[in-house]
Amino acid sequence: MRLLFGLAALVAAAPALWGTSASAQAAAPAAARGDACDRACLRGKADALLASIVAHDPGRLPLARTYRATENGVPAALPMMTIWRTATAAAHTFHVIDPVSQQVLLVSDIAEGSSHALLFGRIRVAQGQISEIELYVDRSRSDGGFQFEATGLAQLPSAWTQQVAPARLPTRDALLVAGRSIFDTRLSGPEAAPSCVMMENGKPVAEDPEVLKVIGGGGPELAHNADGSVPIPCGAPPFRPTDPDARTDIVDEAQGIVVSIGTMEGLVQPYVITAPTISAFVPDAMMQPYLDLLAAQRKTGRFNRPELVPTRASITVVQMQRYYDGKLQGMHLLEKLGPVGARSPWTAKNP
């Protein structure tokens, strides 16, 4: 899936939308004056959430009288959630802060004793209190569908960490258009910068050298990592997965970051080149290219180890994208695999 996604043709840029405000893509309503959190306040609420998790004490959080909360898509009161029982430390937290929608997306390396988990999700604040908590926890490669490296947050590519002057950043409207294009093929975002790094669940994405040998990719014109793998460039192939219920309402104008959250169906397929054989989630929209890739590998006669039977599943993707200088500079897919047919309670009508 990585190779197919990364090497597909990028969607053409849409300069008419990128450089100007579009009323049809208006930003989310601003929070009411007088009771809104600013950036420092919102970051404080997110950090208070992490401190509460590590202390195993949800009672210390400034919660609204009634609140919505899920862990891995399952609704529960905070004292019943697993992460409040298991976490022992939090480090290398990344914040995406949106004072307009009063939301924060946070990504953090969570220690659970000697193991590391990747926590990601969002909170919403209303009248100074946390009213929504949507959390996902990956503890292994199977949780995310393929890639996983919670400790990778300590070494994010510079595109995510460097400060950029406001004049180099896009407008909020342009970021919303770019964010909606992630799960809507009718929209196009700006082209990717040559230095753009694609990440998946804390890990920069690169194709396995054995796959490249089979399909003939990874020529000398492409930069190679020390292990022979080839970094997969950023981009949005025209056959990318779509979700009509995707949510795009977290925009960090100060950093040039937009977040879109969607759920899609697919198959967990065998990834046959490894020993022992592992697996990879493949969205339905990208299935045929992946089957073609498997067929090419099997023709070699070198891969006959036990492998997983292809099995239906769904996946929730929280995708962050950073833009400046008119180009996509970084994309990070945060993914949580789920059972077949699973949908997000956050897209369902409130009771």
Domains with residue ranges and CATH for the chain: 2-338 (3.10.450.50)
Apex 249 CA angle, 25 and 177, nearest 5: 35
pLDDT for the residue 14: 35
pLDDT band at 22 (very low <50, low <70, confident <90, very high): very low
Angle at 92 between CA 91 and CA 94, to 5 degrees: 125
Tell me the average pLDDT of the chain: 87
Q: Which two tokens stand for residue 169?
A: 């950043």
Hey, which residues does 119 pair with through a beta bridge?
Answer: 108, 137
Residue 156 has pLDDT above 80, yes or no: yes
Long-range contacts of 92-97 (CB under 8 A, 24+ apart): 92/151, 92/153, 92/154, 93/46, 93/47, 93/50, 93/153, 94/153, 94/156, 94/160, 95/43, 95/46, 96/250, 96/252, 96/255, 96/257, 96/259, 96/320, 97/39, 97/42, 97/43, 97/46, 97/252, 97/254
DSSP 8-state code for residue 31: P
Return the structure tokens found at 245: 């219920």
Three-state DSSP state, 74: strand
Of the two residues 227 and 339, the one the predictor is more confident about is 339
The pLDDT, as a whole number, for residue 222 is 52
Angle in degrees, CA 121, 123, 128, rounded to 5: 165
Contacts of residue 24, defined as CB under 8 A and 6 or more positions apart, other chains included, come to none
Stated pTM of the model: 0.88
The pLDDT, as a whole number, for residue 207 is 73
Q: Do the Cβ atoms of 208 and 272 come closer than 8 Å?
A: no
* 51: CB partners within 8 A, 6+ apart: 60, 90
pLDDT at 151 over 70: yes
Mean pLDDT of 100-125: 98
DSSP strand pairing (203-204 vs 63-71): unpaired
pLDDT of residue 5: 47
Mean pLDDT of 317-333: 97
Element (H, E) at 106: strand 103-112
Paired tokens of 218: 């990874």
Residues whose CB is less than 8 angstroms from the CB of residue 34 and which lie 6 or more positions away in sequence, other chains included: none
* pLDDT value of residue 348: 74
- Residue 230 or 119, more confident: 119
Residue 338 confidence class, pLDDT cut points 50, 70, 90: very high
Query: Taking 70 as the threshold, does the pLDDT of residue 291 lie above it?
Result: yes
Q: Which of 49-53, 104-108, 207-211 has the lowest mean pLDDT?
A: 207-211
Angstrom distance (rounded) from CA 84 to CA 116 = 15
* Overall average pLDDT of the 288-312 stretch: 93
Region label for 5, one of left (φ > 0), alpha (ψ between -120 and 50) or beta (otherwise)? alpha
What number is the average pLDDT over the span 285-292? 94
Name the percent of the chain lying above pLDDT 90. Answer: 75
Please measure the distance between the N-terminal and C-terminal CA atoms of the chain and give it in whole angstroms.
Answer: 37
Report whether pLDDT(1) > 50. Answer: no
3-state SS assignment for residue 316? strand
Nearest alpha-carbon partner for 6 in 197, 211, 242, 232: 232
Give the largest CA-CA distance in the chain.
Answer: 68
- Contact by Cβ (8 Å): 145, 154: no
Q: Is pLDDT above 70 for 19?
A: no
Identify residue 33 by its one-letter amino acid code.
R
pLDDT of 237-277, one tens digit each? 888 999 999 999 999 999 999 999 999 999 999 999 999 99
Closest by CA to 88, choosing from 105, 62, 109, 58, is: 109
